[in-house]
């Protein structure tokens, strides 16, 4: 019951106090809801990190767990080149933190665990695809990419003193040989970089001028590389090598390579021009020889008269069978046989000298050559026609083959002009 002495004012104050409490309570509930939303958002997997291209957890939709990071898988002999290729590939994918240990494995309660585990699995699959089958069997059950990377480095990198000695011996005995300047420089560059990987010179941390001496040591190594590269060159670069050695200060190896490359280009162009002159001279010589062998055999036909070739000059013909001059092998009596009337009526002394076209014509036109008993008595009419056809075919084939050979060497001289000059 309400006390009549207090009156209605006391009830009003009680009602006002209760409304303010409710308002404060409502504000508190709103704050709690906001805090719960923030907590829930932070407790979700790092979806934003996986979508951020600058984040190491980002994976492009085109990424495939079966791809290889390098074309040459890891063997027991190529760790340094292999590790360099893998390092570059992972850097382009922004995943170096998964092998160098800078992004360790988080706890399972951490909000980034799911994203880390997914990216670590991708890196592991890439490394497995870049290993040889023999090495892959020994690291198949390693679940962390950074531990796999350290295991491979410990096995194939650390303490390889024999490999250092092998590199030094190979560098000291390297010679250019049949290699070009570019190929020889590439070979030496690979040896230097691999040796630098085994025995690196620490970087100098001095401010201003170097006081620790590391820059001096690095300079000695660079000079040694230049001298070693010059000593391995062939003797044809002896003049350039002597000029480079006299330079003070000694240029770096890249400058030396550029100078030698220019010298090689100049030598190649000179050799090409000289070989071109020699080829042209050989073609001219062969052409002149063929012109002499293909001189006009028609008596009194064509330009230049009988036995004359191009320009009216008389060609010296030499038989390839008996070695005598004045006729070719196709009219050599020693190969094809002497005419019966000539063997009977001529002395042996004359036989050894009757080889020219003029004397052959004289023999054929002699009275004994016109005797009806010479050929008519030995061959029938059909046999004589067959022999004439056979000699004509043989002569046409010989002329055709020689014409093709000359046209192949001198394309500007056509077959029509040759036929006009030879009248074969």
| Short-list 240, 242, 232, 244, CA closest to 183 | 232
One domain, residues 264 and 346? no
One domain, residues 189 and 138? no
Q: Write down the pLDDT at residue 199.
A: 83
One domain, residues 259 and 186? yes
One domain, residues 316 and 351? yes
Q: What is the mean pLDDT of each run of 10 residues along the chain (424 residues)?
A: 49 54 76 68 57 85 88 87 91 92 88 90 94 92 92 80 87 92 93 86 79 85 92 91 90 92 86 54 55 47 44 64 80 76 46 49 50 54 76 65 55 45 44
- The reply to whether 301 falls in a domain is no
One domain, residues 146 and 174? no
Sign of CA dihedral 137, 138, 142, 147: negative
One domain, residues 151 and 198? no
Name the domain boundary from 158, 179, 195. Answer: 158
One domain, residues 69 and 14? no
* Gap between the Cα atoms of 388 and 374, Å rounded: 16
- The reply to whether 293 falls in a domain is no
Tokens of 372: 């009806």
Tokens 């009806």 belong to 372
One domain, residues 234 and 254? yes
Q: Is 17 helix (H, G, I), strand (E, B) or coil?
A: helix
- The reply to whether 62 falls in a domain is yes
Rg of the chain over all Cα atoms, to the nearest angstrom: 49
pTM for the predicted model, two decimal places:
0.47
One domain, residues 82 and 173? no
Q: Write down the pLDDT at residue 373.
A: 47
Question: Residue 362: which domain range?
Answer: 307-378
Number of domain units in the chain: 4
Tokens of 189: 């560059």
- The reply to whether 394 falls in a domain is no
- The reply to whether 282 falls in a domain is no
- The reply to whether 385 falls in a domain is no
Burial class (CB in 10 A: 0-12, 13-18, 19+), 300: exposed
- The reply to whether 144 falls in a domain is yes
* Gap between the Cα atoms of 221 and 193, Å rounded: 12
Tokens of 317: 């013909």
Report whether the peptide linkage leading into residue 249 is cis, meaning its omega lies within 30 degrees of zero. yes
One domain, residues 75 and 111? yes
Q: Write down the pLDDT at residue 284.
A: 57
């Amino acid at each position: 019951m309400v006390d009549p002495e207090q009156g209605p004012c006391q009830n009003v104050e009680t009602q006002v106090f209760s409304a303010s409490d409710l308002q404060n309570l409502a504000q508190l509930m709103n704050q709690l809801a906001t805090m719960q939303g923030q907590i829930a958002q932070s407790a979700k997997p790092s979806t934003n990190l996986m979508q951020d291209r600058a984040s190491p957890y980002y994976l492009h939709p085109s990424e495939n767990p079966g791809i290889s990071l390098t074309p040459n898988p890891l063997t027991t002999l190529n760790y340094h080149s292999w590790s360099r290729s893998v390092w570059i590939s992972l850097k382009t994918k922004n995943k170096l933190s998964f092998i160098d240990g800078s992004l360790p494995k988080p706890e399972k309660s951490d909000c980034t665990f799911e994203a880390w585990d997914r990216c670590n699995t991708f890196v592991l699959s890439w490394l497995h695809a870049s290993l040889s089958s023999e090495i892959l069997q020994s690291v198949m059950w390693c679940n962390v990419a950074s531990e796999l990377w350290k295991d491979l480095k410990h096995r194939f990198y650390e303490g390889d003193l024999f490999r250092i000695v092998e590199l030094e011996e190979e560098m000291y005995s390297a010679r250019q040989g049949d290699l070009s300047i570019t190929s020889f420089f590439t070979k030496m560059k690979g040896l230097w970089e691999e040796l630098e990987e085994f025995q690196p010179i620490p970087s100098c941390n001095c401010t201003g001028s170097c006081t620790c001496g590391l820059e001096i040591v690095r300079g000695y190594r660079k000079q040694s590389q230049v001298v070693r590269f010059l000593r391995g060159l062939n003797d044809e670069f002896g003049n350039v090598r002597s000029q480079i050695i006299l330079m003070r200060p000694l240029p770096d190896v890249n400058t030396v390579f550029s100078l030698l490359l220019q010298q090689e280009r100049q030598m190649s162009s000179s050799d090409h021009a000289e070989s071109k002159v020699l080829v042209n001279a050989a073609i001219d010589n062969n052409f002149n020889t063929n012109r002499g062998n293909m001189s006009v055999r028609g008596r009194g036909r064509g330009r230049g008269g009988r036995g004359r070739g191009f320009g009216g000059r008389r060609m010296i013909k030499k038989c390839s069978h008996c070695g005598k001059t004045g006729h070719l092998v196709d009219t050599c009596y020693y190969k094809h046989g002497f005419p019966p009337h000539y063997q009977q009526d001529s002395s042996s002394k004359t036989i050894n000298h009757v080889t020219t076209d003029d004397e052959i014509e004289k023999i054929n036109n002699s009275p004994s050559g016109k005797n009806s008993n010479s050929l008519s008595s030995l061959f029938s009419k059909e046999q004589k026609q067959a022999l004439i056809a056979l000699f004509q075919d043989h002569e046409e084939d010989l002329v055709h083959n020689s014409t093709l050979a000359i046209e192949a060497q001198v394309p500007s001289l056509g077959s029509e002009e040759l036929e006009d000059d030879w009248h074969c």
